[in-house]
Structure 1
């Protein structure tokens, strides 16, 4: 069998943490927070790259990138946010494009979210365009499976029973 695609490997790591009560092998909150601090450093370059690409190609360079760096929230959690604002978005009083990594005080481990994602555009007219959607399909399925585990728990994923 071939190695699973990256989103599947990421979900297995995530669900294994839930099953085992760990995050990156850590069991105590301070150690998990230290891992999250390293994670936010690792995310900085790709988050900036992705938002800069959208600014260059769709916003025609009119955007402004804002990055918070690692911050503490008022509830005892921590977060880092990368936001891209542009004049039309501000005038329309809409949320910025955003990537938000957060480790809420009551959470077992960190999560990542966007600003508004719920629907995905679908304009496919050729086999090549359909094939280009594979990473998107993987991401959508990973997000849905994560949300189902979040609604119940890791036990709904058979592979986590086999990998103990």
Structure 2
């Protein structure tokens, strides 16, 4: 199978846009990275969890230190089978007040559902995000959050239809940087 690398929409595109391009390119090409079979995709999922592990732990430790006054416990499950036959790995941060109220811990989850084309990330309860911006600096600090929300929104819109709603994934016209669109380039 010939794959079509997805180039960033603009020179030096932010990592979140490059990640979306890889994600939608997988949908277009019927692959996940270089994998086509479920077995090969599961191998890549295991590798991804290993790569994510130190970063997921670091993020949760940051939350523990700054928000929970170092009272929390970070735990990781490693990769395991889900009831539907898929795979999942969880990193959680629990703390005394959370456990006493019987609510879920802060959760970062990598999951590859049985019927999924490729893996995804999610949290336990993420939906709304607080907006308390009162200065230019506070507004600028929201950029990573805005990027995450926009990336998730576009991902969900593709999930509702398919990758063809994203011109950069199917368009043969050159982008603003003059490079050919992804479907006009062939990988040797």
TM-score range, shorter chain: over 0.9
Q: Flag structure 1 segments of 5+ consecutive residues without an equivalent.
A: none
SS in structure 1 of the partner of residue 169 of structure 2:
helix
Correspondence for 2:35: 26
Distance 2:82 2:66 in 1: 33
Question: Which of 109, 113, 123 lines up with 1:104 in the alignment?
Answer: 113
Distance 2:43 2:83 in 1: 18
Task: Give the deviation of 1:95 after TM superposition.
Answer: 1.0
Q: Flag structure 2 segments of 5+ consecutive residues without an equivalent.
A: 1-9, 172-181, 184-188
Correspondence for 2:104: 95
Task: Give the deviation of 1:74 after TM superposition.
Answer: 2.6
Task: Give the deviation of 1:75 after TM superposition.
Answer: 2.0
SS in structure 2 of the partner of residue 121 of structure 1:
coil
Correspondence for 2:15: 6
Correspondence for 2:130: 121
Cα-Cα RMSD:
0.9
Q: Which has the higher contact order (CA 8 A, sep 6+)?
A: 2
Larger radius of gyration between Structure 1 and Structure 2: 2
Superposition pairs of residues 41-80 of structure 1, within 5 angstroms:
41-80=50-89
Question: Which of 155, 166, 173 lines up with 1:157 in the alignment?
Answer: 166
Task: Give the deviation of 1:25 after TM superposition.
Answer: 1.5
TM (normalized to structure 1)? 0.97
Task: Give the deviation of 1:72 after TM superposition.
Answer: 1.4
TM (normalized to structure 2)? 0.85
Correspondence for 2:44: 35
SS in structure 2 of the partner of residue 120 of structure 1:
coil
